Amino acid sequence: MTAERMAYQQVAAERVADGVPAGARVADGVVADMRVQECLDAAVARLRALQHEDGWWKGDLATNVTMDAEDLMLRHFLGVATAATDTETARWIRSQQRADGTWATFPDGPGDLSTTVEAWVALRMAGDDPAAPHLAKAAGFVRSAGGVEKARVFTHIWLALFGLWAWDDCPDLPPELIFLPSWAPLNVYNWACWARQTIVPLTIVSAHRPVHPVGFTVDELRSGTPSSQKSSQKRSQKRPLRTLEGAFQRLDVALNAYTRWGPRGPAKLVRRLAMRRATEWIVARQEADGGWGGIQPPWVYSLIALRLMGYPIDHPVMAAGLRGLDGFTVHTQTPDGPARWLEACQSPVWDTGLAVAALLDAGVPADDESVLRATDWLLAEQIDAPGDWQVRRPGLVRGGWAFEFANDGYPDTDDTAEIVLALRRVAHPEPQRLRKALDDAVAWTTGMQSADGGWGAFDADNTDTTPLKLPFCDFGAVIDSPSADVTAHIVEMLAAEGKAGSDECRRGVRWLLDAQEDDGSWFGRWGANHVYGTGAVVPALIAAGMPPGDPVVQRAVRWVEEHQNEDGGWGEDLRSYVDPAWIGRGDSTPSQTAWALLVLLAAGTRSEALRRGLAYLVDTQRADGSWDEPHYTGTGFPGDFYIGYHLYRLVFPIWALGRYVGSIR
């Protein structure tokens, strides 16, 4: 304990002795500040306890049961399912069903049609009786929501793999796309990295049109509407031929016929070469952990595609892929017995960077043993390998960080910026080694700036919206456009590195100013939602030299204060991505409260809103130093896919509490 903290606590103790109630809230001054310090100390102790002996942190990354349903279906398709994996996966899926029979994409969210369809099919594969109450309820919901006919394209592809949906009613993805040069529309590098890694194997699947029959149908899920022969609502609505969407719809019809009847003559040879090239592309991008991109979608589709191309299950590439999926499996207990669920991704690099920053904000010494262990682990994770980002930036120095344990092909600017912000404050015993790593990271991140002045997460200038017009694209973001949260983190990093006056930083600031919403907030691409975006941008603008009294900042502060909940916290429901009525509204959560507090602290306010927000964190802290956060506050694809980062509930409150305590010392 520092001398300053000891003196501070002595003053607080004297006030308690003078009759100030020990349970006073934050508004009660010094005693309340002591409670903030105690809250912070407990949270730091909890975070320390969660560090792995190798130096990293990783919280569980929760999503929804499509991950588990697709894992079960994948194993059946590949012929590697076991009674144990079926039983434990089905048990988990059942445990996540709500009382109305549905499954959602986030806790307390509305029932989701496609998620419920996939869960129903997976449970049928596991042996559940369709007449059982839980499946009957699910089927009733599906029919009332328009039936399996209105499920998303990905769901229809999974059904087609098992003969439960017609391949003709799925959008066609020709493998010949792999031959398109990087300057051509719809070439694979015009898709976001997560989308291109999914699209390439799906072109092989689409060309093969495999069917692995199962002993049931999905008749119980059909609505019987006239649109029942169409793959999705988007495809069933015929667009004018003069529009790009209309042209792609007609092209899709032609491609389906082309694939159905099979290429002839030279076209057959071209297709064969395309599939071989696509296969080589996939194999070349397998990561050290056996996966692809560190995320579930390209991983499972790559395994299916390679199997279709003749790779046996015991081939080293296939065996490594299946072993890697086992490493993404979380084993848990439900009231009905042991269960297993699959993480869609793992976030150790991201979590560790955030944890180091949190500890330093909390006043932990810069040469603390925990900080140094984490720093050494992160330095070993810095990427000096080629990647797809070089298609747009071929001459750029390497030096970024990825999100996962093993994802050397796809470092991202967001992780890299946050890690630089953390590690630049570390008193490392090898300062030159650390400085070299940081300089490379700054150069790489700066060079990934897009032409409009903002930054996307994985690629530069990945802004061509042509893929969005395809019949295939009815789920998730498929391009990696610049976002306010990522751009803000990089602007803050550049300012911390003394580059606030650089052209890159100034262009980034201009991008952020242009992106401010009319209400004073910023949209959050990777976190929920405007609370996250605003919590990232305001500290960045202040760091870059904007005065706290600037109207841009004050509008943001007003927005934050106006959206505080009665309990003193902040929350924003994930429905805000599709329904503006939810913007800034939702049950309070620790992480979102911390993001709002970061705005107020950066702006230098000492308002009642700040005091009430701090009180919320103090009053809701668990005995173990952490917080409960049943709601998801992370975003994968706005409107479609959401994430519960289990470490957010701890690291971000530490950031906010630590910055507050630092401001009053």
Please indicate, yes or no, if residue 487 is contained in any of the structural domains: yes
Q: How many CA atoms lie within 13 A of 412 on its CB side?
A: 27
Say how far apart CA 593 and CA 56 lie, in whole Å.
25
The total number of structural domains in the chain stands at 2
Where helices occur in 310-347 by DSSP H, the ranges are 316-327
CA 99 remoteness from chain centre? 27
Please indicate, yes or no, if residue 27 is contained in any of the structural domains: no
Q: What one-letter code names the amino acid at 303?
A: L
Please indicate, yes or no, if residue 114 is contained in any of the structural domains: yes
| Residues pairing with 338 in the sheet | 333
Cα angle for residues 465, 470, 475 (degrees, 5° grid): 85
Average pLDDT, stretch 180-208?
93
Q: Which long-range contacts (CB under 8 A, 24 or more apart) does 362-370 make?
A: 362/40, 362/43, 362/44, 362/654, 362/657, 362/658, 362/661, 363/2, 363/5, 363/658, 363/661, 363/662, 364/44, 365/427, 366/425, 366/426, 366/427, 367/426, 367/427, 367/428, 367/429, 370/48, 370/51
Element (H, E) at 68: helix 66-78
Residue 330 shares a structural domain with residue 352: no
Say how far apart CA 219 and CA 213 lie, in whole Å.
15
Q: What is the pLDDT of residue 333?
A: 95
Total Cβ atoms within 10 A of residue 147 = 21
Say how far apart CA 601 and CA 557 lie, in whole Å.
10
Question: Parallel, antiparallel, or unpaired: how do β-strands 337-342 and 634-637 relate?
Answer: unpaired
Q: What is the pLDDT of residue 231?
A: 44
> Which candidate, 150, 235, 168, places its Cα nearest to that of 206?
168
**Would you place residue 471 in the very low, low, confident or very high pLDDT band (cuts 50, 70, 90)?**
confident
Pair of tokens at residue 88: 């434990």
Residue 229 shares a structural domain with residue 275: yes
Q: What is the pLDDT of residue 251?
A: 57
Q: Does residue 376 contact residue 368 with C-beta atoms inside 8 Å? A: no
Query: For all residues of the chain together, what is the average pLDDT?
Result: 91
Say how far apart CA 178 and CA 270 lie, in whole Å.
11
Is residue 465 pLDDT above 90, yes or no? Answer: no
Average pLDDT, stretch 450-462?
97
Domain range for 494: 34-60+346-462+483-664
Nearby residues of 355 by Cβ (< 8 Å), 6 or more positions away = 47, 51, 57, 374, 647, 651
> Catalytic residue among 68, 414, 415, 480, which?
414
Please indicate, yes or no, if residue 474 is contained in any of the structural domains: no
Residue 137 shares a structural domain with residue 171: yes
Residue 414 shares a structural domain with residue 519: yes
Please indicate, yes or no, if residue 14 is contained in any of the structural domains: no
| Residues pairing with 412 in the sheet | 401
Residue 105 shares a structural domain with residue 251: yes
Element (H, E) at 340: strand 337-342
Q: What one-letter code names the amino acid at 144?
A: S
> Which candidate, 412, 426, 427, places its Cα nearest to that of 381?
412
Name the percent of the chain lying above pLDDT 90: 84
Question: Parallel, antiparallel, or unpaired: how do β-strands 634-637 and 641-645 relate?
Answer: antiparallel
Residue 407 shares a structural domain with residue 533: yes
Cα pseudo-dihedral 184, 189, 191, 194, rounded to 10: 170
Q: What is the pLDDT of residue 262?
A: 72
Residue 591 shares a structural domain with residue 513: yes
Q: What is the pLDDT of residue 280?
A: 97
How far is CA 93 from each of CA 128, 164, 469, 571, 644, rounded to the nearest angstrom? 12, 20, 33, 27, 17
Q: Which residue has the tokens 């560190």?
A: 294
Please indicate, yes or no, if residue 303 is contained in any of the structural domains: yes
Residue 322 shares a structural domain with residue 412: no
**Would you place residue 466 in the very low, low, confident or very high pLDDT band (cuts 50, 70, 90)?**
confident
Q: Does residue 66 contact residue 360 with C-beta atoms inside 8 Å? A: no
Please indicate, yes or no, if residue 501 is contained in any of the structural domains: yes
> Which candidate, 58, 47, 99, 102, places its Cα nearest to that of 646?
58
Element (H, E) at 488: helix 484-496
Is residue 503 pLDDT above 50, yes or no? Answer: yes
Say how far apart CA 615 and CA 391 lie, in whole Å.
49
**Would you place residue 386 in the very low, low, confident or very high pLDDT band (cuts 50, 70, 90)?**
very high
Total Cβ atoms within 10 A of residue 22 = 11
- Quick one: 309 exposed, middle or buried, by C-beta within 10 A (0-12, 13-18, 19+)? middle
pLDDT in tens, 510-541: 999 999 999 999 999 999 999 999 999 999 99
Please indicate, yes or no, if residue 154 is contained in any of the structural domains: yes
Q: What is the pLDDT of residue 4?
A: 35
Task: Among 342, 370, 405, give the residue marking a domain's end.
Answer: 342
Dihedral sign (CA 190, 191, 193, 199): negative
Residue 96 shares a structural domain with residue 40: no
CATH number, domain with residue 385: 1.50.10.20
Q: What one-letter code names the amino acid at 604?
A: G
Residue 275 shares a structural domain with residue 188: yes
Q: Does residue 351 contact residue 58 with C-beta atoms inside 8 Å? A: yes
pLDDT in tens, 543-596: 999 999 999 999 999 999 999 999 999 999 999 999 999 999 999 999 999 999
Say how far apart CA 35 and CA 16 lie, in whole Å.
12
pLDDT in tens, 321-378: 999 999 999 999 999 999 999 999 999 999 999 999 999 999 999 999 999 999 999 9
Dihedral sign (CA 143, 146, 149, 151): negative
**Would you place residue 278 in the very low, low, confident or very high pLDDT band (cuts 50, 70, 90)?**
very high
Average pLDDT, stretch 26-44?
80
Q: Which long-range contacts (CB under 8 A, 24 or more apart) does 128-135 make?
A: 128/90, 130/216, 130/220, 134/94, 134/97, 134/101
Average pLDDT, stretch 119-148?
97
CA 345 remoteness from chain centre? 8
Residue 338 shares a structural domain with residue 361: no
Is residue 170 pLDDT above 50, yes or no? Answer: yes
Say how far apart CA 509 and CA 465 lie, in whole Å.
24
Q: Does residue 108 contact residue 130 with C-beta atoms inside 8 Å? A: no
DSSP secondary structure letter of residue 403? S
Residue 440 shares a structural domain with residue 455: yes
Q: What is the pLDDT of residue 476?
A: 73
> Which candidate, 164, 149, 142, 158, places its Cα nearest to that of 228?
149
Per-residue DSSP letters for 499-565?
-TTSHHHHHHHHHHHHH--TTS----SSBSSHHHHHHHHHHHHHHTT--TTSHHHHHHHHHHHHT--
Count of residues making up the chain: 665
Task: Among 342, 375, 393, give the residue marking a domain's end.
Answer: 342
Say how far apart CA 98 and CA 613 lie, in whole Å.
32
Say how far apart CA 632 and CA 492 lie, in whole Å.
26
What pTM, to 2 d.p., does this model score? 0.91
Helix (H, G, I), strand (E, B) or coil at 444: helix
Nearby residues of 498 by Cβ (< 8 Å), 6 or more positions away = none
Q: Is 384 a catalytic residue?
A: no
Task: Among 316, 342, 368, give the residue marking a domain's end.
Answer: 342
**Would you place residue 234 in the very low, low, confident or very high pLDDT band (cuts 50, 70, 90)?**
very low
